[in-house]
Structure 1
Amino acid sequence: MESSTWYVIAIIIYLFTMLAIGYWSYRQTSEYDEYVLGGRGLNPFVAALSAGASDMSGWLLMGLPGALFLTGMSELWIAIGLTVGAWFNWKLVAPRLRAYTEVANNSITVPSFFENRLRDKSRALRVIASLIIIFFFTFYVSSGMVAGGRYFESTFQGDYLTGMLIVAAVTVAYTFIGGFLAVSYTDAVQGILMFLSLAIVPIMAIISLDNPADIFSFAAENPYATGGAIVNPDYFSMISGVSAAVIIGNLAWGLGYFGQPHIIVRFMALRTPADAKTGRRVGILWMALSVLGAIFCALAGTVFFTTTEHAITDQQSYETIFLDMAQIMFHPLFAGLVLTAVLAAIMSTMSSQLLVVSSSLIEDLLKVFSKKEPSESTLINLSRTAVVGVAILAAILAVNPNDSILGLVGFAWAGFGAAFGPLVLFSLFWSRLNVPGAIAGMVVGAVVTIGWGMSALSDSLYEIVPGFAASCLAIVVVSLATKAPSAEITKEFDLAIDVSRRAAGDESFEFSATA
């Protein structure tokens, strides 16, 4: 039996498992709130793996190993920044956001939370936030489809467009039928697959080398270590030859966590604020070990692909290192199961993002402008239709990709981090925040990020740094220069903070919006 046949069998098993979870979730979902947020009943283990899997996407298994292989350990600053940022996100944002979103009129989306938190009767805050989500997530979903197409190119030597469409179709299918529960539980399964694969592949690759210790010196000594590039004696240095601006920019990826809607929505779905502690421990451990696996994939690759007859499929960004090593080292059936980890990474992120975008379209735009409140079934069906519509638009953008996976992800990550990150933090920790300040922060953060990212300045400093700083400044200056929030808003702020603190101190604490 040919290798490609074994791969197909393994992938079919995986895809049907995802669809089965989607169908199970469909049977558990009867109300619109359940479709969008799972009824706020997500346990912390599932929430942690779901957040991690939807966060890392194809970047962890394809983008990061490729960047490390090509450039060197200076790329580790991104991984460090992400890990630290994720820890602070779980520590600072998760418990307060879980409490505040329920206190603030049971908000089920990020834009609706902003509006309810500040009692914005103009609806401008909610509409602008939803438009930002739709814009940046279209690029983000597109990056997942690009990864899916490249996956099929490497695995089956097949057509990029066909692979992209298959991955998109299955992801849309289980998101369409199962909603938030389907996305969360499939993400948890996918997170486990990603972790196991990132442990197995580099270990087996290192064992297969004549001298495993070469992984710690070869790339810095051999001119063919990175596909014929000039030898890089500073390959293993994190600071030599790297400017302070590059280090700051890479570390700044961690700032993006505070504003990623597809991640923080998991916080909103936790059973109680107290679950954030368990979620943080599980999520950060998973993340740290997974990143370590990606690092060793790149290190093993510098020797594996330059001392054997094997070649890397992607000779531009080198983003197929993980895929290629798995196919070479394992029996086709087992290799196929390992390779599903890449599909898992791609699909987990895409599904989360599709659901958030559809929620914004329906909850934050349609319901705002609709004169009549749609029925529960109508809202669910409209959300499903929105999933398909956004997927089609993202697929059109992905047909002829002109950027790497890391480049596409980086642009969208910076956009959300700068537009929403500061606003989320100020919403949870500053009672003086008002509507004009919130709108100014969002708009300035998004505009600066887009402008900086499209200019030559992005070559010297990652756009999230000026975008995040400009957003914070705009929020503070405009809020202080305009009318203070009402006593009612301030009182609700104090209530939400008190609820989160009491819940965090008592694992059995339960509350409602009238606590």
Structure 2
Amino acid sequence: MSEHSWFIIAIVIYMAVMLGIGYWSYTQTKKYDEYMLGGRGLGPVVAALSAGASDMSGWLLMGLPGALFVAGFSELWIAIGLLIGCWANWKWIAPRLRSYTEVARNSITVPSFIENRLHDTSHVLRITSAVVILVFFTFYVSSGMVSGGKYFESTFGGDYLTGMLIVAAITVAYTFVGGFLAVSYTDAVQGLIMFASLIIVPVMAVIALDNPMDIFGWQTTNDYGPYTGGEGNPNYFNMISGVSIAAIIGNMAWGLGYFGQPHIIVRFMAMRKPADAVAGRRIGIFWMLLCIVGALFTAMIGTVFFAQNPNIDVTDTKAYETVFLDMGRILFHPLIAGLVLTAVLAAIMSTISSQLLVTSSALIEDLYMITVKRQPRQKNLMWLSRLSVLLVAVVAGVLAVNPSDSILGLVGFAWAGFGSAFGPIVIAALFWKRLNTPGAIAGMIAGAVVSFAWGQSALSSTMYEIVPGFLANVVFMVAVSLMTKAPAPHITEQFDKASRLSREKGMLTPEMLA
């Protein structure tokens, strides 16, 4: 049997499992809020793994190993910043957001929470938030589809467009059918696949080397990948050589993005109780740390693995984002390799599905629902949400047909947009009683505009756009809030109540929320 046939068998098994979870989720989903938030019933394991899988995407297995392969340890600043940001997100945002979203009229989306938290009757905040989600998530979903196309190119030597369409079709199918439960449980399974593969591939690759200790010095004196001048990359293990302070700050600032990523923090809103954030944080950080270590060693070992074996090559000779894929394909029996390589497919699909659902909620819950005079039937809302998933997927697919940027570039642009627009607002909404509607509107618009403009300008090569975007949001949010009317007493009382409930160990009962 040919290699491609084994790969197809492995991927068919994986796709069948994903569709099976989607169907099971469909049988468990009867109401609109269950389709969008799973009835707030996620346990800490599923919440942590699904948040991690939807967060990391193809960047973890393709973008990060590729960047580390080319540039070396100077790219680790991003991973360090992400680890710190992820820990802080689980530590401080998760428990408060879980309690506050239920206190604030049982909000099921980030835009609806911000509106209900500030009691904004004009809907300006909600509309602005939804527009930001639509704009930046379209690019984010597109980056996942680009990853899917590259996956099929490397794995099957096939057509980029065909691969991109297959990945998009399967992901849309289970998201369309099963909603939030399907997305969360498939993400949890995909997170486990990613974790296992990032451990297995580098371990097997280093065993295959004649001298495993070469991985700690070969790169600095020998040519590999893009280095052909006879000197290799002397600064491979140097985290600061050739890297400006602005670049280090910009890379570390990726961690700021966590506070404003709707597809991640929606997992906090769906947890069973605020106290689950403690276990969720421990599981999530352990998973993320080992995955990043696996990606790092994949890149380190890859530099030696391919250089010492001239008969094999990295498929992607521009960004080298297929290092993990190529090593997995070469090292294992085709069936095992196919199962290992589904880790990349898992990473891609987990992120796309989460983002599609959040974008659908922005269209229906945050734009459509505020325009209708009569509450639509639950069944109609669910079908409208499903159609929105299809619409967003089509637009993102069109953008992904001819990708003009690397996976890391597309992800970085969208990540900065969300972090700049929502991050400071979410933090302030949970911890600053004085925040008001004008301040939130001013901050959100300033953050989104500055991030977008900076990212499209030459300045983006000097400093990652999330830094000026985040700062612009904070300055405008604080200044305008202080210059305008303070929140009414009933708003601050609700703030105190949500803060108190975030420390509850058990489930939040109707009596507590009343």
**TM-score, normalised with respect to structure 2:** 0.98
Partner SS, residue 198 of structure 1: helix
1:234 pairs with 2:235: yes
Aligned to 1:327: 329
Any conservation in 1 of the 2:38–2:181 contact (CA below 8 Å)?
Answer: yes
Aligned to 2:350: 348
1:429 pairs with 2:428: no
Identity of aligned residues (%): 67
**Matching residue's letter, 1:381:** W
Distance 2:293 2:241 in 1: 21
Q: Name which of 388, 392, 395 aligns with 2:394.
A: 392
Any conservation in 1 of the 2:50–2:188 contact (CA below 8 Å)?
Answer: yes
Give per-residue Cα distances to partners, 1:428-458, cap 9 Å, x unaligned: 0000000000001110000000010000100
Distance 1:171 1:207 in 2: 35
1:99 pairs with 2:123: no
Aligned to 1:10: 10
Distance 1:223 1:194 in 2: 30
Q: Name which of 401, 405, 408 aligns with 1:406.
A: 408
- What are the ranges of 5 or more consecutive residues in structure 1 without an aligned counterpart? none
Any conservation in 2 of the 1:137–1:412 contact (CA below 8 Å)?
Answer: yes
Distance 1:98 1:82 in 2: 22
Partner SS, residue 106 of structure 1: coil
Distance 1:459 1:330 in 2: 39
Partner SS, residue 237 of structure 2: coil
**Matching residue's letter, 1:282:** I
Deviation at residue 8 of structure 1 after TM alignment: 0.1
Deviation at residue 370 of structure 1 after TM alignment: 1.2
Aligned to 1:380: 382
Partner SS, residue 205 of structure 2: helix
Distance 1:88 1:120 in 2: 28
Deviation at residue 510 of structure 1 after TM alignment: 4.6
Distance 2:66 2:457 in 1: 24
Aligned to 2:203: 203
Give per-residue Cα distances to partners, 1:50-73, cap 9 Å, x unaligned: 000000000000000000000110
Any conservation in 2 of the 1:224–1:306 contact (CA below 8 Å)?
Answer: yes
Number of residues of Structure 1 aligned to a counterpart in Structure 2? 512
**TM-score, normalised with respect to structure 1:** 0.98
Deviation at residue 224 of structure 1 after TM alignment: 3.0
Distance 1:146 1:437 in 2: 37
TM alignment of 1:42-121, pairs within 5 A? 42-121=42-121
**Matching residue's letter, 2:330:** I
Aligned to 1:166: 166
Distance 1:234 1:327 in 2: 29
Deviation at residue 511 of structure 1 after TM alignment: 5.7
Aligned to 1:272: 273
Deviation at residue 372 of structure 1 after TM alignment: 1.8
Any conservation in 2 of the 1:499–1:511 contact (CA below 8 Å)?
Answer: no
- What are the ranges of 5 or more consecutive residues in structure 2 without an aligned counterpart? none
Give per-residue Cα distances to partners, 1:452-481, cap 9 Å, x unaligned: 000010001000001001101111000000
CA RMSD of aligned residues (A): 1.0
**Matching residue's letter, 2:82:** L
Any conservation in 2 of the 1:95–1:276 contact (CA below 8 Å)?
Answer: yes
**Matching residue's letter, 1:500:** S
Deviation at residue 122 of structure 1 after TM alignment: 0.3
Q: Name which of 447, 450, 466 aligns with 1:448.
A: 450
Distance 1:287 1:300 in 2: 20
**Which shifted more, 211-220 or 225-234?**
225-234
**Matching residue's letter, 2:240:** I
Distance 1:212 1:223 in 2: 17
1:248 pairs with 2:249: yes
Distance 1:486 1:475 in 2: 18
Distance 1:100 1:396 in 2: 38
Aligned to 2:308: 307
Deviation at residue 228 of structure 1 after TM alignment: 2.6
Deviation at residue 231 of structure 1 after TM alignment: 2.6
Aligned to 1:155: 155
Aligned to 1:495: 497
Give per-residue Cα distances to partners, 1:111-167, cap 9 Å, x unaligned: 000000000010000000000001000000000000000000000000000000000
Deviation at residue 512 of structure 1 after TM alignment: 5.4
Aligned to 1:339: 341
